[in-house]
Amino acid sequence: MSRKTALVTGAASGIGLAVAESLAGAGYNVMCADINEEKGKEEAARIGASFFKCDLSKREECKALVEACAAEFGSVDILINNAGIQHVSPVEDFPEDKWDFMISLMLTATFLLTKYSWNYMKKNGWGRVINVNSVHGLRASAFKTAYISAKHGVTGFTKTTALEGGPHGITVNSICPAYVRTPLVDGQIADQAKAHGISENEVIEEVMLKKAAVKKLIEPSEIGDIVLYLCSDSAKCVTGTSFTIDCGWTAQ
């Protein structure tokens, strides 16, 4: 049997890179996608994956990515929608162009990549769509208007496509972590300090970990482990879920 192929977005660093590394290590063909070409190529070569540069806020580049993956490997069996950014600002000051970009990148691209990959999975009678969501896809926090709106949209999209994919052997799930130790989170610390008028250490203790029962940042490799489970036969009946890894945040 030929190896299954996984397409991972935002794979040049952070969660995306950890997921791509886990999948490559488990023997999957992996196509890494990111706008950061230099870092993306370097990391893809290191883990034995392929790389495709693209701006996922653009519809035509979403389609080109899926076509490139299918052309190289023959199919798209697993789609990991991970690419995203964060911007922290009160709603009255939130830049309108930043809103448009973030919704395009994190919600519209999730739809488009799923749409373009769907027929490959349907044809094979097997597929996995895993949306790297956030605890903010289930709960809200101040000053993150676009991010939380996009992530709540991903939660609904996950449930809907899970219902459509079930009869065709396609499962769709989202992973909802709390704060993961990534460059994205590192960048948020300074932004949150400014928005709340507190120090960066206070951001970690009083904002990021305040609602957590387990007082630690999550490691990216932990997300990679969950992805491997959701791709396995053991998870063939797991679909439409918001798989939380949130240190107890949503238990409150």
Catalytic residue among 28, 116, 120, 147: 147
What 8-state DSSP symbol labels residue 169?
A: T
Distance, in Å, from the CA atom of 230 to the CA atom of 128, rounded to the nearest integer, reads 8
For residue 88, give the nearest of 231, 185, 225 by alpha carbon: 185
Question: How many Cβ atoms from other residues are within 10 Å of residue 123's Cβ?
Answer: 11
Region of residue 69 (left: phi > 0; alpha: psi -120 to 50; beta: else): alpha
What 8-state DSSP symbol labels residue 46?
A: H
Q: How far is CA 149 from CA 95, 164, 178, in A?
A: 15, 23, 16
Backbone angles phi, psi at 172, to 5 degrees: -135, 120
Q: Determine the residue type at 81.
A: N
Active-site residue, 120 included: no
Active-site residues, by number, are 147
